[in-house]
Amino acid sequence: MERRKFLGLAPLAVAACASETNPTNLANTSASFRWRMVTSWPPNFPGHGVSAARLARRFSELSGGRLQVEVFAAGELVPALEVLDAVSSGAIEMGHTGPIYWRGKIPAAQIFGSIPFGMQADEFNAWIYHGGGMDLWREAYEPINVIPFLAGNTGPQMGGWFNREINSLEDLDGLKMRIPGLGGDVMNRAGVLPVTLPAGEIFTALQTGTIDAAEWVGPYNDLAFGLYQAARYYYYPGWQEPSGALECIISRQAYERLPEDLKFIVQTACIAETDYVLAEFNARNFQALNALINDHGVELKAFPEDVLQTLKAQSSIIMNEMSNQDPLVEKIYSSYMAFANGLDAWMKISGDAHSLY
């Protein structure tokens, strides 16, 4: 779980834009569009919710008002975990959510959310834009008539909030924990009962004892939710989500009705938002962590090494099982791991250089 050095995405963004649409051949028309965006986030939620609103604003500003998008928080039009269904049906043009939530509909989508002990944000973004990841993402969503775009990345997350210390694997046995996706599968192998809850329900469930532990994102978001008031111990590292991708999903019918210049604006705005969100989380997380420890008395704890090694072994077993059961998972996971292994030598060299400064 080595710390990775942040890589700027500005040149990467330019290359990615050019690879998707040639800006010299854009057809500029006077057609205008009014869309709705449903999200999986509470209203004005720091990071995720604010990102959705900012992305909608970018669409309008860059298009000169020709693409207007009205944003709806979770529950205002559709529940938080039904965003994909609403966009897939064509009832809603656009959604802002996370691929980690769609395991029951698209098992392969979880890979784009994050793989436990997998690539961190800058590595994951490199795979998406330059390693074939985006093409595979769109292949996974094609059967449900949805086009996904990477539209943010929270970077490494935290391991979660617990009301008892975790000193061994036995301490995990029987816990009810809010932890979705592949991380939940891994925890289940360690005796945890994983629970999937939307963001707005986490605090109450943890405070009332409906669940014993919860992972959400990281210090920036966890402080905003007041989770320190509901649990005593804050664990790291966030092995379950070393990279937390956010996605902008668009109904294929709606997207194909856009002229080429507006399609290019959508692509470019999503890339810009990805870069901005990762920078924001890197900046805000260390400030929020200081506040949690110094102002609120949170006890910061590291998972024991033997616990992490067991969870890592289970993660590898689960990914191999999924690959054997689903050809699309196997295809995407193979691409992911090939890129990660190829990149590893460079990341070790560049990461080691950080210790010299």
**Quick one: average pLDDT of 138-142?**
98
Per-residue pLDDT tens digits for 7-27: 333 333 433 443 444 444 455
Per-residue pLDDT tens digits for 106-125: 999 999 999 999 999 999 99
Residue 3 confidence (pLDDT) above 50: no
- Give the pLDDT score at 27: 53
**Model confidence band, residue 28 (pLDDT cutoffs 50, 70, 90):** low
Residue 73 confidence (pLDDT) above 80: yes
Q: What is the mean pLDDT of the chain?
A: 91
**pTM (2 d.p.):** 0.88
- Give the pLDDT score at 348: 83
Per-residue pLDDT tens digits for 157-215: 999 999 999 999 999 999 999 999 999 999 999 999 999 998 889 999 999 999 999 99
**Model confidence band, residue 43 (pLDDT cutoffs 50, 70, 90):** confident
- Give the pLDDT score at 15: 39
- Give the pLDDT score at 200: 87
Do 182 and 239 contact (CB within 8 A), yes or no? no
Per-residue pLDDT tens digits for 80-116: 999 999 999 999 999 999 999 998 999 999 999 999 9
Per-residue pLDDT tens digits for 268-286: 999 999 999 999 999 999 9
Residue 357 confidence (pLDDT) above 60: no
Structural domains in the chain, sorted by start: 12-23+30-155+243-284 (3.40.190.170), 160-241+297-343 (3.40.190.10)
- Give the pLDDT score at 350: 81
Rounded to whole angstroms, the Cα distance separating 40 from 49 reads 8
- Give the pLDDT score at 354: 53
Lookup result for tokens 């689960």: 318
